[in-house]
């Protein structure tokens, strides 16, 4: 007997749409990881008047994406996704921690990852250890069988979106300016997510030196509203 052609309306949505919906939930600002509390050193750069315009913000974020934690996080997320054994996952998490450039940046990735895992454990029962943020996302995506490249691209857009909203709270930058910066950076998020495919910890590098230094000196800012 011939199989009937599938009727899309009776089959439910394609898997990619289900993946996108889960990721949109995980990476939404309402998912309780406390992302709003971290500026990744932006607060220092803004107080020092190094970021004053939408163009300044975009340039700063491009460096973080291409040469700093954006690209590194993407590699860590992919490494976590590839882990077959919990012991390998521990190694990826130790790598994430050892690459952290400062105390606050370590807390930023550690506390967000821990909060993410706690909620995921409660809502989607199963093993979800406390891990640094990109490692926790990569592992959860693997466990739920979500598309890896989609996870990586949406993760990058979410962290940049969070930094844009931090900048809006700190500089005389309007909501529309912020969205324009995020839209301008979205192709880069897509490209880095794709280019990090097959990369390992040997390909990670930390060259956003002034972003990292800004995170270090954030610890001694007299007036600050962010935790990093």
Partner 1 sequence: MTLHQAGSLKMVFPNTHRRHMNAVLINTAGGITGGDRFDIRAQADAGASLTLTTQASEKAYRAQIGEIAQLTTTLTIENDARLNWLPQEMILFNHCALHRRLMINMTQSARLLMVEPLIFGRTAMGERLTDCIFRDRITVTRDRRPIYLDGMDLSGDAAARLARPAIANGAGAMASLLFVAPEASAKLSQIRAMLPITAGASMIAEDILVMRLLAADGYEMRRSLIPVLDYLSQSTLPLSWRL
Q: Is 126 left (phi over 0), alpha (psi -120 to 50) or beta?
A: left
The C-alpha atoms of residue 144 and residue 127 are separated, in whole angstroms, by 11
Give the DSSP letter of residue 48. Answer: T
Among 32, 127, 149, 205, binds partner 1 (CB under 8 A): 205
**Contacts of partner 1 in 54-73 (CB under 8 A):** 56, 59-60, 62-64, 67-68
Tokens of residue 98, six digits: 């050892």
Closest separation in Å from C-beta 116 to partner 1: 21
Which part of the chain contacts partner 1 (CB under 8 A), choosing from 113-121, 161-169, 178-186, 209-217?
Answer: 209-217
d(CA 140, CA 31): 14
Query: In angstroms, what is the minimal distance from the CB of 39 to partner 1?
Result: 13
What is the number of other CB atoms lying within 10 angstroms of the CB of residue 2?
4
Binding mask 2-41 for partner 1 (x = CB under 8 A): ----------------------------------------
Least distance between partner 1 and beta carbon 115 (Å): 21
- Is residue 116 close enough to count as binding partner 1 by CB under 8 A? no
State the sign of the Cα–Cα–Cα–Cα dihedral 83, 89, 91, 95. positive
Q: State the helix-helix crossing angle for 69-81 and 86-99, rounded to 10 degrees.
A: 170
Q: Are 156 and 73 in contact (CB under 8 A)?
A: yes
Q: Is 28 helix (H, G, I), strand (E, B) or coil?
A: coil
**207 binds partner 1, rule: CB under 8 A:** yes
Q: In angstroms, what is the minimal distance from the CB of 38 to partner 1?
A: 15
Token duo for residue 23:
């990721």
162 binds partner 1 (CB under 8 A): no
Closest to partner 1 by CB, 31 or 99? 99
Minimum separation from the CB atom of position 101 to partner 1 (A): 7
Residues that bind partner 1 (CB under 8 A): 45, 48, 50, 56, 59-60, 62-64, 67-68, 94-95, 97-104, 106, 201-202, 204-217, 219-220
């Amino acid at each position: 007997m011939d199989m009937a052609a599938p009727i899309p309306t009776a089959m439910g949505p394609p898997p990619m749409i289900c993946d996108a919906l889960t990721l949109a939930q995980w990476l939404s600002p309402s998912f309780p990881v406390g992302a709003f509390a971290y500026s990744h050193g932006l607060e220092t750069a803004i107080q020092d008047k190094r970021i004053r315009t939408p163009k300044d913000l975009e340039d700063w974020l491009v460096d973080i994406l291409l040469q700093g934690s954006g690209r590194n996080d993407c590699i860590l997320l992919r490494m976590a996704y590839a882990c077959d054994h919990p012991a390998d996952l521990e190694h990826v998490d130790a790598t994430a921690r050892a690459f952290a450039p400062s105390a606050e940046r370590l807390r930023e990735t550690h506390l967000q990852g821990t909060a993410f895992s706690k909620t995921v454990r409660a809502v989607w029962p199963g093993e979800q250890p406390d891990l640094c943020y990109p490692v926790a996302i990569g592992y959860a995506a693997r466990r739920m069988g979500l598309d890896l490249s989609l996870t990586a691209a949406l993760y990058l857009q979410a962290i940049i979106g969070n930094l844009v909203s931090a900048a809006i709270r700190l500089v005389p930058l309007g909501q529309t300016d912020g969205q324009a910066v995020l839209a301008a950076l979205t192709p880069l998020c897509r490209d880095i997510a794709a280019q990090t495919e097959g990369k390992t910890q040997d390909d990670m590098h930390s060259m956003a030196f002034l972003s990292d230094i800004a995170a270090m000196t954030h610890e001694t800012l007299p007036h600050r509203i962010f935790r990093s």
